[in-house]
Chain A
Amino acid sequence: MSKLLEVKDLRVSFNTYNGEVQAVRGVNFELNKGETLAIVGESGSGKSVTSKSLMQLLPAPQGFIKSGEILFEGQDITKLSNRAMQKIRGSEISMIFQDPMSSLNPTMKVGRQIMEGLIKHQGLSKTNAKNKSLELLKLVGIPNPEVRMTQYPHQFSGGMRQRVVIAIALACNPKVLIADEPTTALDVTIQAQILELMKGIQDETDSAIMFITHDLGVVANVADRVAVMYAGKIVEVGTTDDIFYNAKHPYTWGLLGSMPTLDDDEEELFAIPGSPPDMLNPPKGDAFAPRNEFALEIDKVMEPPMFKVSDTHYAATWLLHEDAPHIEPPEAVKRRMQGFSNTGSKDDKKK
């Protein structure tokens, strides 16, 4: 598989009145052609900031990339001028935003919003752009595209609006598609439709998708690989199966444990105590240590490096060090790792 995007030791900070907020503190990952990488984490873990810095959409001047490289097809895009970046943004790398309500222009007809990128990036004539937009609207499953083209965003429902946003993002056949919580604002049934749509489009266009979400159910549905972020760092990364069936980091355990199973009688949910750290003064040592019941003494002093679990699976926790005591994940988490849907699938068999 070919590397399309490589992020090396990315650090992003924001200047605020209270000081420098270190939103992203040394993130490394790569994105290959045709794969879906999910980035999971709580709000404030730096997942959206990471994605925005890939697109150079950080609010200037307070948000800035402190250090690190973002290599897109071998070229470091952090060094590019605004002008050069404009050529990449929307054509090579494009983005689907969380809230379809606020990411569309309310005063512009939907058709023109889709055509805009086509005319600008691909130099299409107006008629060609129009035909292409009609195709795109059909592709994302909007019925009656000829009529819909001439309507305004407020005439669309939430799910339909998100389809328009996806159509705009896909307009120039981007190599990388960044989806920042694309289904969070939608209902479950609509969410399922949008996810199916995105998977179908990926099969056709072979683009790479970076999927940002906090919903593990969605991750299990779409992702090939998963990176778990906490306090501006990736704490565990692996294939979807690695993360869901063989998680090693206590934070990942916590995330899995806090999801309710559909089991009949379940005791308390395994909640992660406390709340995420203040990134104004990131804690010394392992940022997760204060919320971690399995924290070791060393966690308070030194940050754990990435330990290798397998060729595809890495986790940053001292528990994986050879001198560390062997700790088993809590029972509730273990049960979830054996298959969340056990009761569900048994049921299906009954039918």
Chain B
Amino acid sequence: MTQEKLLEVKNLKKHFPVGRKEVVTAVDGVSFDIHKGETFGLVGESGCGKSTTGRTIIRLYDATSGEVKFNGEDVHGKKSKKELLKFNRKMQMIFQDPSSSLNPRMNVMDIIAEGLDVHHLVNNDKERRARVEELLEIVGLNKEHATRFPHEFSGGQRQRIGIARALAVEPEFIIADEPISALDVSIQAQVINLLKQLQRDQGLTYLFIAHDLSMVKYISDRIGVMYFGNLVELADSDELYHNPIHPYTQSLLSAIPLPDPQYERARKRMHYDPTIHDTSGPMEFREVKPGHWVRCTEKELEQYKKQLKN
């Protein structure tokens, strides 16, 4: 894999004001890079800020501070309409709930072609239709579906429409925010296979946000674990699974239920106790081993390094 950085997130913060004085620090200084052609998984409990991170990256929210660089260019900050348009074309999003992210009063053709119209990618109606039909075929739907409305589709099919819409403008980078959580198990596998195949065919880069660690492990090359607005661990997905360092990651891994009764009977679950951390120094994101980062203090770093050697 090329190690070319497609997206750089540096010390990204997003705070939401609540009422007059209080502030919710949804994302509190997150930094990571996403390389070209890879799938970066972001996991964590609900409320840990993983969706906010995704939405801030694509500028659905304005960042409180920190920066996001896409292909070396800053995403946030003042932009002309033209620049925004250019940027929007490169980055697209697939949403969690396929029934609320599609306009119920637009037919599938218009939903998918909206991006084409905005970016003037097609010249006439014939091209428009041909492109939509091509996209429908890519995501495994029929061209007859183009005239129908979202309510006529099942959840899995709706998610496919969402994917076709994201693909329409030929983006380089797709943020998938829990794209399968609302779907049935058998349909989940279909959508995951589709996303993987699209990545192979079109060289896409994904940011895959989910709370289901086993699916994330399956689809991602690298995984970041979030806890209360901070990244606590980041590593290659195999490395993270085999050598989880941060106690929170360990407890998260120990909680995944596996469809294997014997394993389940023997399972030992670990609890995460945030008070065990050393508080002698500042908590920072430190590299324990090439490519494997953990949020810890200096003292803990030494301890983790030792732990890894054993």
**B260 and A192 contact, CB distance less than 8 A:** no
**A191 and B257 contact, CB distance less than 8 A:** yes
Check: B251 CB closer than 8 A to any chain A CB: yes
Check: B193 CB closer than 8 A to any chain A CB: yes
**B184 and A218 contact, CB distance less than 8 A:** no
* A22-30, A168-176, A341-349 - the one binding chain B: A341-349
From the candidates A187, A196, A336, A341, name the one contacting B211 in the complex (CB within 8 A): A187
Check: A113 CB closer than 8 A to any chain B CB: no
**A192 and B255 contact, CB distance less than 8 A:** yes
* A82-90, A129-137, A209-217 - the one binding chain B: A209-217
Which residues of the other chain, B, contact A261 by a CB distance below 8 angstroms? 218
**A42 and B185 contact, CB distance less than 8 A:** yes
Give the interface centre of A189, A217, A240, A258 by most chain B CB atoms within 10 Å.
A189
Known contacts: A220-B263, A271-B193, A275-B154. The answer to whether A262 contacts B258 by CB under 8 A is yes
In the complex formed, the residue of A with least CB distance to B219 is A260
Interface size classification for chain A: 35 or more
Question: Roughly how many angstroms separate A287 CA and B127 CA in the complex, as a whole number?
Answer: 40
Q: Give B146-170 as 1s and 0s: 1 = Cβ < 8 Å from A's Cβ atoms.
A: 0000000011110000000000000
Shortest distance between the CB of B274 and any CB in chain A (Å): 13
* B69-77, B85-93, B113-121, B264-272 - the one binding chain A: B264-272
Known contacts: A258-B189, A273-B190. The answer to whether A196 contacts B269 by CB under 8 A is yes
**Count of interface residues, chain B, beta-carbon cutoff 8 Å:** 42
Which residues of the other chain, B, contact A218 by a CB distance below 8 angstroms? 257
Shortest distance between the CB of B24 and any CB in chain A (Å): 15
Question: Roughly how many angstroms separate A2 CA and B259 CA in the complex, as a whole number?
Answer: 28
Q: Give B249-261 as 1s and 0s: 1 = Cβ < 8 Å from A's Cβ atoms.
A: 0011011111111
Known contacts: A189-B45, A258-B185. The answer to whether A340 contacts B190 by CB under 8 A is no
**B214 and A215 contact, CB distance less than 8 A:** no
Which residues of the other chain, B, contact A270 by a CB distance below 8 angstroms? 189
Q: Give B201-242 as 1s and 0s: 1 = Cβ < 8 Å from A's Cβ atoms.
A: 000000000011111011000000000000000000010011
Which residues of the other chain, A, contact B267 by a CB distance below 8 angstroms? 221
Question: Roughly how many angstroms separate A187 CA and B188 CA in the complex, as a whole number?
Answer: 18
Which residues of the other chain, B, contact A189 by a CB distance below 8 angstroms? 45, 251-252, 255, 272
Shortest distance between the CB of A153 and any CB in chain B (Å): 17
Check: A43 CB closer than 8 A to any chain B CB: yes
Check: A244 CB closer than 8 A to any chain B CB: yes
**B217 and A192 contact, CB distance less than 8 A:** no
**A259 and B257 contact, CB distance less than 8 A:** no
Check: B262 CB closer than 8 A to any chain A CB: yes
**A216 and B187 contact, CB distance less than 8 A:** no
Shortest distance between the CB of A337 and any CB in chain B (Å): 9
Give the interface centre of B156, B187, B242, B264 by most chain A CB atoms within 10 Å.
B264
From the candidates A188, A219, A244, A254, name the one contacting B213 in the complex (CB within 8 A): A188
**A191 and B263 contact, CB distance less than 8 A:** no
In the complex formed, the residue of A with least CB distance to B196 is A268
From the candidates A188, A245, A260, name the one contacting B252 in the complex (CB within 8 A): A188
From the candidates A42, A195, A220, name the one contacting B260 in the complex (CB within 8 A): A220
Which residues of the other chain, A, contact B218 by a CB distance below 8 angstroms? 260-261, 266, 269
Within A177-233, which residues are at the interface with B (CB < 8 Å)?
187-192, 195-196, 214-221, 223
Could you pull out 23 A-B pairs where Cβ atoms are within 8 angstroms?
A188-B213, A189-B255, A192-B254, A192-B257, A214-B185, A216-B259, A217-B214, A217-B257, A220-B263, A220-B264, A223-B261, A255-B186, A258-B186, A259-B185, A259-B214, A262-B258, A268-B196, A269-B189, A269-B192, A275-B154, A275-B156, A340-B259, A341-B263
Listed in ascending order, the chain A residues whose CB lies under 8 Å from chain B are: 42-43, 158, 187-192, 195-196, 214-221, 223, 240-241, 244-245, 254-262, 264, 266, 268-273, 275, 336, 339-341, 344-345, 347
